[in-house]
């Protein structure tokens, strides 16, 4: 399962955000005493389409799409030089497919900031710099080994050119995700698990007094950076949303109105993380089970068949497809969708869209 690693400076509220995401019954404690092993949790992806289908079919079993989050220890300044938890942290970051970067925006005298002041942009830059330095060290080690070889293959010469291109970009303090590498270049680099090549989501961790953008220190600067790098950003009222999860729905609604939000931040965060991983959901329905299946964006109908069962991919004939939006507009009726020309048969090369209802026809 693809996973998102939650990163950030110590005391940024990462463990609080992890608790909010997972709705942990037993609160996950912050890192202490040199602990490095990360907290992990698989959580369902909030999806109103899935909820509607469950209400409609009233199945015996429901299976939502899921995504895994890994709460990593705080990344200290100079971690790339071995300070703090250093390399132990960076090795766990390398195992994640996407990064959820929690940035502290709240003030709390009882929880002193490790940098002494609250400055979200500075904190973002510290973590980004440490990740860049980690990738530079990986490249330096690999180039040194390649250059020491008396005889190199053509592929190794190509690798040197690509690594030098990456190093030049990193030297300019830019992450590799901004380099515009093509799929072949990314494939060549995949074994290095470069952390700055991973997609990133910024999470601004707020308190209940920060309902206006003007109350968030340096908000415009960090948002300008997010926009310029096409980095998604969400706001979460960390400690408040932990309390919110314990209230009944009506009290939750009133509380969210006070915060000027329309839905819990955890739901926006989970959905954005799922999208960040390049994932989409398609649905299978019936009285036995309503299920949201996970696919990589760009996958085909035969890939969808294989996700359900290898036999369906092996004996694939056609896929019956109707998109959820069309299904809803046709009063949640397959026969009405057929009459409206919205229910169709597609071949194995059809690219599945997020929200498709799929039924596989096969023969083995």
Query: Between 30 and 352, where is the model more confident?
Result: 352
Q: What is the pLDDT of residue 167?
A: 97
Rg of the chain taking only CA atoms, in angstroms: 23
Average pLDDT over residues 41-54: 96
Residue 27: pLDDT band (50, 70, 90) is very low
pLDDT tens profile 307-323: 999 999 999 999 999 99
How far apart are the C-alpha atoms of 57 and 59, rounded to whole Å? 5
Point out the least confidently predicted range of 85-99, 188-202, 208-222, 312-326: 85-99
Q: What is the pLDDT of residue 89?
A: 57
Give the Å distances, CA to CA, from 160 to 120, 138, 167, 280.
Answer: 36, 13, 10, 35
| 22 pLDDT above the threshold of 50 | yes
| 341 pLDDT above the threshold of 80 | yes
Using DSSP, state whether 234 is helix, strand or coil: strand
Average pLDDT over residues 209-233: 91
Whether the CB-CB separation of 286 and 300 falls below 8 Å is answered with: no
Fold of 3-46+66-134+194-276: Rossmann fold (3.40.50)
Query: Between 274 and 82, where is the model more confident?
Result: 274
Point out the least confidently predicted range of 37-41, 102-106, 122-126, 269-273: 37-41
- Roughly what angle, to the nearest 10 degrees, separates helices 265-276 and 14-22? 90
Phi, psi of 228 (to 5 degrees): -70, -25
Q: Structural domain boundaries of the chain?
A: 3-46+66-134+194-276, 298-362
| 336 pLDDT above the threshold of 70 | yes
Residue 1: pLDDT band (50, 70, 90) is confident
Residue with tokens 């300008």: 224
How far apart are the C-alpha atoms of 357 and 340, rounded to whole Å? 16
Summary mean pLDDT of the chain: 89
Phi, psi of 244 (to 5 degrees): -60, -40
Percent of the chain clearing pLDDT 90 (strictly above)? 67
Query: Which residues lie below 8 Å from residue 355, measured CB to CB, with a gap of 6+?
Result: 49, 280, 281, 282, 283, 323, 324, 325
How far apart are the C-alpha atoms of 296 and 193, rounded to whole Å? 19
Q: How many residues are there in the chain?
A: 364
| 90 pLDDT above the threshold of 70 | no
Give the Å distances, CA to CA, from 8 to 77, 114, 240, 338.
Answer: 11, 12, 19, 50
CATH number, span 298-362? 3.10.20.30
Strand partners, 359: 320
Closest CA to 91 of 105, 76, 80: 80
Most confident of 115-119, 154-158, 352-356: 352-356
Query: Which residues lie below 8 Å from residue 94, measured CB to CB, with a gap of 6+?
Result: 193, 195
| 26 pLDDT above the threshold of 90 | no
| 164 pLDDT above the threshold of 90 | yes
Give the Å distances, CA to CA, from 98 to 68, 281, 332, 348.
Answer: 11, 18, 35, 29
Q: What is the pLDDT of residue 33?
A: 45
Point out the least confidently predicted range of 6-15, 187-196, 250-259: 250-259
């Amino acid at each position: 399962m693809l996973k998102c690693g939650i990163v950030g400076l110590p005391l940024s509220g990462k463990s609080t955000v992890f608790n909010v995401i997972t709705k942990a019954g037993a609160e996950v404690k912050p890192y202490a005493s040199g602990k490095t092993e990360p907290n992990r949790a698989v959580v369902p992806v909030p999806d109103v389409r899935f909820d509607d289908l469950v209400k409609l079919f009233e199945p015996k079993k429901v299976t939502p799409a899921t995504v895994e989050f890994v709460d990593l220890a705080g990344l200290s300044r100079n971690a790339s030089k071995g300070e703090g938890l250093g390399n132990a942290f960076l090795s766990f970051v390398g195992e994640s497919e996407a990064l959820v970067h929690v940035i502290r925006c709240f003030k709390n005298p009882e929880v002193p900031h490790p940098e002494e002041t609250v400055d979200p942009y500075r904190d973002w830059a510290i973590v980004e710099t440490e990740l860049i330095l980690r990738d530079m060290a990986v490249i330096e080690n690999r180039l040194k080994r390649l250059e020491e070889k008396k005889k190199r293959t053509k592929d190794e010469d190509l690798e040197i050119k690509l690594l030098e291109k990456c190093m030049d970009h990193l030297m300019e303090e830019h992450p590799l995700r901004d380099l515009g590498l093509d799929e072949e270049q990314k494939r060549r680099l995949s074994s290095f698990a470069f952390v700055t090549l991973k997609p990133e989501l910024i999470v601004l961790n707020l308190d209940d007094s920060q309902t206006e953008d003007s109350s968030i220190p340096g908000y415009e600067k960090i948002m300008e950076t997010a926009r310029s790098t096409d980095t998604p950003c969400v706001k979460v009222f960390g400690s408040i949303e932990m309390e919110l999860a314990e209230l009944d729905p009506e009290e939750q609604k009133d509380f969210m109105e006070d915060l000027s939000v329309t839905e819990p931040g955890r739901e926006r965060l989970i959905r954005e993380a799922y999208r960040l991983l390049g994932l989409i959901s398609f649905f299978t329905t019936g009285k036995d089970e309503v299920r949201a299946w996970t696919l990589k964006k760009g996958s085909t109908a035969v890939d969808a068949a294989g996700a359900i069962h290898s036999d369906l991919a092996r004996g694939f004939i056609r896929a019956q497809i109707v998109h959820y939006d069309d299904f809803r507009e046709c009063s949640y009726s397959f026969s009405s969708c057929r009459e409206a020309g919205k229910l169709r048969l597609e071949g194995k090369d059809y690219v599945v869209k997020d929200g498709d209802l799929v039924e596989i026809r096969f023969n083995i």
